[in-house]
């Protein structure tokens, strides 16, 4: 295996890790100033990093073939292209925010599975950001407000350097998550709150079922949904759909109505889920997960046959609730499952996929885990 020392002819100054995430509920509402409730998972991206004092940047990942090297001044919108933009973009965004950072040698050793809807991109950005914070003494990683600033730099890296229009949920979760909690994110005012979420204590597990179908059609469809949501808000004379009622939604044109109904009902489901979790009634959130999936499938039309089958088969095998998670059109579903039934549910989902002629799904349990941290 290629190590940091072989590549860069020196030792790293340390190793930093940041987790992927799963969104428990609150899907496609980030751009409607809504609420979402993700949690960080145990899968992490790990970067080994050494500071440089000559402004050079050398980036390498064991998960990708191409490496990149250049200087801090070479980094900007669309530069570097490819995976390196996620890491380099963090340096650019921190500099643009007024922080003094130098160059780095960076090797990505471990990774959150790429493109599985578990947010490997934010994990790469956040592990890099925490390393840079530490190595150049920015003093942001030690407090929640500092971490929010690091998350903002990660969002800017993805939006402005990579050029991917992502909403910010992933980076906030990877930076701010607390083990044993989900993170309630308010996309209107940017606030966050840890909400107790310990499925194992309730005799439950969250299974993540990766359909291994990658975001077919996702780009164009994402833009269309976003546009419909903005049009619906404008038609109602509101800045967003955040505080719109169902009664108002029913006055919309037929093509906007189901889209807006998803947003409004999904935000309500997040509130209901948070109330149940705060009350220690985790086992009762299943129906909210099911309703979220139905809304995403029928009103928002972002599910896929594979995601529908994953949820249906999981429920039939004993899941208390199941829903697609992430942007849709492929990616992963989650299922809330009694601990003693996790094997049955996993094997019945696999069987259902085989019978339908789909690729074998990858199924793993997701543990609510901590946010980014230094590991050595
Ligand atoms: P997701 O965030 O859901 O995994 P994205 O498309 O947002 O999917 O991000 C995946 C991209 O992020 C990869 O194609 C790659 O460019 C980059 N990336 C993520 N993790 C790594 C890694 N460990 N090494 C190199 N590139 C990575
Ligand atoms: Mg991503």
With a 6 A CB cut-off, is 325 part of the ligand 1 pocket? no
The residue with tokens 């090797």 is 107
pLDDT value of residue 301? 96
Phi-psi region of 272 (alpha: psi -120 to 50; beta: other; left: phi over 0): alpha
Catalytic residue ranges: 170
49 Cα–ligand 2 center, Å? 22
The residue with tokens 């793993």 is 364
Q: Are residues 174 and 205 in the same domain?
A: no
Phi-psi region of 329 (alpha: psi -120 to 50; beta: other; left: phi over 0): left
Q: Are residues 311 and 349 in the same domain?
A: yes
Q: Are residues 148 and 239 in the same domain?
A: no
Both tokens assigned to 32? 């409607």
pLDDT value of residue 43? 96
Which residues of the chain are under the pLDDT cut of 50? Answer: none
Which of 196, 231, 251 is the endpoint of a domain? 196
Q: Are residues 259 and 316 in the same domain?
A: yes
Pocket test for ligand 1, best of 82, 83, 168 (most atoms within 8 A of CB): 83
Q: Are residues 175 and 220 in the same domain?
A: no
Q: Are residues 219 and 149 in the same domain?
A: no
122 Cα–ligand 2 center, Å? 6
With a 6 A CB cut-off, is 115 part of the ligand 1 pocket? yes
Mean pLDDT of the chain: 96
With a 6 A CB cut-off, is 83 part of the ligand 1 pocket? yes
175 Cα–ligand 1 center, Å? 17
Q: Are residues 171 and 245 in the same domain?
A: no
> Would you say residue 376 lies in a domain?
no
169 Cα–ligand 2 center, Å? 10
33 Cα–ligand 1 center, Å? 25
Q: Are the C-beta atoms of residues 109 and 16 closer than 8 Å to each other?
A: no
With a 6 A CB cut-off, is 124 part of the ligand 1 pocket? yes
pLDDT value of residue 179? 98
Q: Are residues 118 and 94 in the same domain?
A: yes
How many domains does one find in the chain? 2
Which of 151, 169, 196 is the endpoint of a domain? 196
Give 3-state DSSP helix, strand, coil % of the chain, rounded to 5: 45, 25, 35
With a 6 A CB cut-off, is 111 part of the ligand 1 pocket? yes
Atom of ligand 1 nearest to the CA of 62: 24
pLDDT value of residue 356? 98
The residue with tokens 């906007």 is 256
Minimum-distance ligand to the CA of 110? Answer: 1
Q: Are residues 266 and 210 in the same domain?
A: yes
Q: Are residues 179 and 296 in the same domain?
A: no
Structural domain harbouring 146: 4-196
Residue 308 CA to residue 311 CA, distance in Å, equals 5
Pocket test for ligand 1, best of 16, 41, 86, 87 (most atoms within 8 A of CB): 86
Q: Are residues 171 and 212 in the same domain?
A: no
Q: In what order do the strands lie in the sheet with 332-338?
A: 321-325, 332-338, 204-210, 362-366
Residue 265, burial from CB neighbour count under 10 angstroms (0-12, 13-18, 19+) = middle
With a 6 A CB cut-off, is 64 part of the ligand 1 pocket? yes
Atom of ligand 1 nearest to the CA of 158: 7
- For residue 77, which phi and psi values (nearest 5 degrees)? -50, 125
With a 6 A CB cut-off, is 300 part of the ligand 1 pocket? no
Residue 246 CA to residue 172 CA, distance in Å, equals 29
Q: Are residues 183 and 43 in the same domain?
A: yes
Model confidence over 304-326: pLDDT tens digits? Answer: 999 999 999 999 999 999 999 98
- For residue 261, which phi and psi values (nearest 5 degrees)? -60, -40
Residue 333 CA to residue 336 CA, distance in Å, equals 10
Ligand 1, atom 27: closest residue by C-alpha: 83
> Would you say residue 100 lies in a domain?
yes
The CATH code of the domain that includes 187 is 3.30.230.10
Both tokens assigned to 237? 């004379």
Which of 145, 174, 196 is the endpoint of a domain? 196
With a 6 A CB cut-off, is 218 part of the ligand 1 pocket? no
The residue with tokens 């074998």 is 360
pLDDT value of residue 200? 97
Pocket test for ligand 1, best of 66, 111, 121 (most atoms within 8 A of CB): 121
The CATH code of the domain that includes 336 is 3.30.70.890
């Amino acid at each position: 295996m290629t190590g940091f020392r072989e590549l860069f002819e020196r030792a790293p100054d340390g190793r930093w890790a940041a987790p992927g995430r799963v969104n428990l509920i609150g899907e496609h509402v980030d751009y409607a100033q809504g609420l979402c409730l993700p949690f960080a998972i145990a899968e992490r991206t790990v970067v080994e990093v050494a500071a440089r004092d000559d402004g050079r940047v050398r980036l390498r990942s064991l998960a990708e073939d191409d490496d990149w090297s250049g200087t801090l001044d070479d980094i900007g919108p669309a530069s570097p292209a490819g995976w390196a933009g996620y890491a380099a973009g963090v340096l650019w965004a921190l500099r643009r925010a007024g922080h003094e950072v130098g160059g780095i040698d960076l090797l990505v050793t471990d990774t959150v599975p790429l493109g599985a809807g578990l947010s490997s991109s934010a994990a790469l950005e956040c592990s890099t950001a925490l390393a840079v914070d530490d190595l150049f003494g920015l003093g942001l990683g030690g407090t929640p407000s500092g971490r929010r600033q690091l998350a903002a730099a990660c969002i800017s890296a993805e939006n402005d350097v990579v050029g991917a229009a992502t909403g910010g949920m992933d980076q906030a979760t990877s930076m701010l998550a607390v083990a044993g909690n989900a993170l309630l994110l308010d996309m209107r005012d940017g606030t966050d709150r840890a909400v107790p979420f310990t499925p194992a204590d309730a005799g439950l597990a969250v299974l993540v079922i990766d359909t291994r179908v990658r975001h077919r059609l996702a780009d164009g469809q994402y833009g269309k949904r976003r546009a419909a949501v903005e049009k619906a808000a404008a038609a109602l004379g509101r800045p967003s759909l955040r505080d719109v009622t169902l009664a108002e939604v029913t006055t919309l044109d037929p093509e906007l109505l189901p889209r807006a109904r998803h947003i409004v009902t999904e935000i309500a489901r997040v509130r209901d889920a948070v109330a149940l979790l705060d009350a220690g009634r985790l086992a009762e959130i299943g129906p909210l997960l099911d309703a979220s999936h139905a809304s995403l499938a029928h009103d928002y039309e972002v599910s896929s046959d594979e995601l529908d089958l994953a949820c249906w088969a999981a429920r039939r095998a004993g899941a208390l609730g199941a829903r697609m998670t992430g942007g849709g059109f492929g990616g992963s579903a989650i299922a809330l499952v009694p601990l003693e039934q996790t094997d049955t549910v996993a094997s019945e989902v696999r069987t259902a996929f085989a019978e339908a002629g789909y690729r074998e799904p990858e199924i793993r349990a997701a543990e609510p885990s901590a946010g980014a941290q230094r590991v050595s």
